[in-house]
Chain A
């Protein structure tokens, strides 16, 4: 609930039509408007996602049958490396914070922009430069990196491929992430509208806040670690390579001190999106607001302390393994709090299966599978059995793609009408969802099964008994890509030629639904005064809700 004249219809141009100092493409790539920067991220990420999907598709195609199918082993090694680097550093880590965080964070807290608009633009430039370098490294002499996205030593010290450009790209992308984090923390502390105290903030903001802290605190560690790898490669200083007197386990510790919290950089904002969508389409206030809010902080905190569960077979001490196994189990508690709260919100709600809601429900289903298989791996005995098998690959795709990926798609379907002022075809969106989730499970579930049976991950070839699982998985990848294409075409057509969207197509109560569609350059005509919580659905004198989404049939 908010008071004040939030916008003056038709008097101010929207941010898409707004003419600043520069025109044309410069008006975009030099714009400090958080909404335009959000879209810049969206477009660049769309590009990187397409490249990442291509590599994934080729890997699956190669694995459709034992032996060589289309690519050589060395190419295969490079493909899974690039698939990992691109999907993780260029799509899923920046994903929600950079696109939807940039676009909606200021609007949701009633601000005109982020605290440091120029730093915001700088972070996009760093992202674009880092992304460009990662892609360029494929074509430089020496060939694309083949270490896996984890850059494990000593192989990353000895590989003759372009490990350094790829690692340097990740280093630059890290800075982009840190700058975004600093910007968001400051914005949330300093720019909340009058009356918006911490417990009146939408839950997406809580999740961005928790994420931003991890970005600021953990990212420098990967930066310095990759720099140390460069020092070791270039100057032969023995840090990690045992042949030079270094300690490879230390590299793994340092790498995962960042890279495990990075998993929570990816998943937390997605959980925030789900917390926004569920109350709107269940027409109920969120169940357990403060528990969801604090569980974000708890996930950020505990999630930062569990990194060594990636290394249980790497030669750790028993005490170390015990401690990290215990901590891993603890992260499940705040994660489960969220899932149970969403389900409790749905209970006795007036549920409408609009496309954003379908994706949100898909998220809960897939994330639950991903989360529970994660718990299995937290147990030491099971972990040793399934370490480095395709069970792990299946698990993290359920979390990363089924969780964060579906979170991004949910956010796209939820906020796209506000961002562009046009609506996509809802029927087609639902078809896309069902094709996507079918393909998804066909692609990744067999990985869980064959991993359990002993299929190692990253292998180019395999024993005949695994053929059937690989075959189903590859067929699943085709269905999944079909679903993605349906979704992408539908959204692009919607943005270009869709019907005009109203200011509040879903009947949401948060601030973005109370301003113009698409928003004006400065979001609000007057900074609003916040008087109530974000999910209070009002009943009018006729006993009906004032605003309600009407399903298109």
Chain B
């Protein structure tokens, strides 16, 4: 299987993992820090944005999505889009309450 071979070609070094981990910790810190600030209507947007960046890091680096073939990327893309649509529709209600 070609994608198995490509796995072996892409060994990520510990340094990268460590950096990503530190990045995730930093973003968590930012989430906690900004939680106390009232951004009004965009509070949730800010929180979701940070969470999205964190998920993207985990998916691409830790879960190796970066090195997978296109089918898997499309699958994950579909899942992400579905999730975004759910949230947008949820706020079609909440924003106008």
Q: Which residues of A contact B (CB under 8 A)?
A: 185, 189, 213, 216-217, 221, 253, 257, 304-305, 308, 315-321, 323-324
Contact = CB atoms under 8 A, between A and B. Distances in A.
A182 to B, nearest CB: 10
A217 B97 contact: no
30 contacts: A213-B78, A217-B78, A217-B79, A217-B82, A221-B86, A253-B93, A257-B86, A257-B90, A304-B82, A304-B85, A304-B86, A305-B85, A305-B89, A308-B93, A315-B97, A316-B93, A316-B97, A317-B93, A317-B95, A319-B93, A319-B96, A320-B93, A320-B94, A320-B96, A320-B97, A321-B93, A323-B89, A323-B93, A324-B89, A324-B93
Contacts, number: 44
Contacts of A318: 96
Secondary structure of the B contact surface, majority rule: helix
Secondary structure of the A contact surface, majority rule: helix
Given A316-B93, A324-B93, 7 more contacts: A216-B79, A217-B78, A253-B90, A257-B86, A319-B93, A320-B92, A324-B89
Interface in B38-96: 71, 75, 78-79, 82, 85-86, 89-90, 92-96
Interface of B: 71, 75, 78-79, 82, 85-86, 89-90, 92-97
A317 B85 contact: no
Contacts of A185: 75
Contacts of A321: 93
Contact of A317 (B75, B79, B82, B97): B97
Contacts of B93: 253, 308, 316-317, 319-321, 323-324
Contacts of A315: 97
Choose among B85, B89, B93 the residue with the greatest number of A CB atoms under 10 Å from its CB: B93
A31 to B, nearest CB: 27
Contacts of B95: 317, 319
A12 to B, nearest CB: 29
A469 to B, nearest CB: 35
Contacts of B71: 189
Nearest to B75: A185
